[in-house]
Amino acid sequence: MIKLAALSLAIASLVSVGAQAAPITTVEVEAAQKGWGEGIVKIGQAKNPKKAAVKHLEQFYAFNDGQVLFKPTLASVDQFRGTQKEALSYFVGQDLAEDKGFALAPYVKVRWENEGIITDGDSAMSMGNYYFTKKNGEEIKVEYSFGYIKDKEGNVKINLHHSSLPFKL
């Protein structure tokens, strides 16, 4: 009976490790991008944008799983946002003087044009342009690089977010 229990525990452990070790796929990265864009739109439309932004950060960013490197588009004084609280301030404007609430625009759509996606086992990187469409139809082009990992449940999360406006002379 003890041997059977030990065997069951060993199998359960291997299944758990196998689930965590599943490589990130390009399809998963593209789904995470689509969900992230839809989440930005939802924040701007929400009756309680702060609550929507907290949910967005928990769903798409790996703050609960380790370090997140976050350099948002419209940040210049406090360029880097290493905590969930700082990221929240960027999205809805609360703690830092330069934060006006990026996600409150509101946007009606976010579309992605990937230059490329590199998958490497349990991590992935993507780079390209994403476009934020305002209510008046104006589209804002932003350059980005994102890094992704999987959390313990197998969800793809962002652990690197760098975005900036294109260079102009």
Determine, yes or no, domain membership for 20.
no
Determine, yes or no, domain membership for 84.
yes
The residue range of the domain holding 144 is 26-164
Determine, yes or no, domain membership for 128.
yes
Determine, yes or no, domain membership for 6.
no
Q: Is it true that the peptide bond before 72 is cis, omega within 30 degrees of 0? A: no
Determine, yes or no, domain membership for 15.
no
HEC string of 60-108? HECCCCCCCEEECCCCCCCCCCCCHHHHHHHHHCCCCCCCCCHHHCCEE
pLDDT digits (tens, 9 = 90+) for 133-165: 999 999 999 999 999 999 999 999 999 999 999
CATH code, domain carrying 58: 3.10.450.50
Number of domains into which the chain is organized: 1
Determine, yes or no, domain membership for 19.
no
SS3 43: helix
pLDDT digits (tens, 9 = 90+) for 67-78: 999 999 888 778
Q: How confident is the model at residue 3 (pLDDT cuts 50, 70, 90)?
A: low
pLDDT digits (tens, 9 = 90+) for 35-60: 999 999 999 999 999 999 999 999 99
Q: Which residue has the tokens 């944008």?
A: 49
Q: What are phi and psi of 119, to 5 degrees?
A: -105, 140
Whether the predicted pLDDT of 85 surpasses 70? yes
What residues have CB less than 8 Å from 129, skipping those under 6 apart? 112, 113, 115, 141, 142, 143, 144
Whether the predicted pLDDT of 9 surpasses 80? no
Determine, yes or no, domain membership for 21.
no
Determine, yes or no, domain membership for 8.
no
Q: How confident is the model at residue 95 (pLDDT cuts 50, 70, 90)?
A: confident
Average pLDDT, the chain: 87
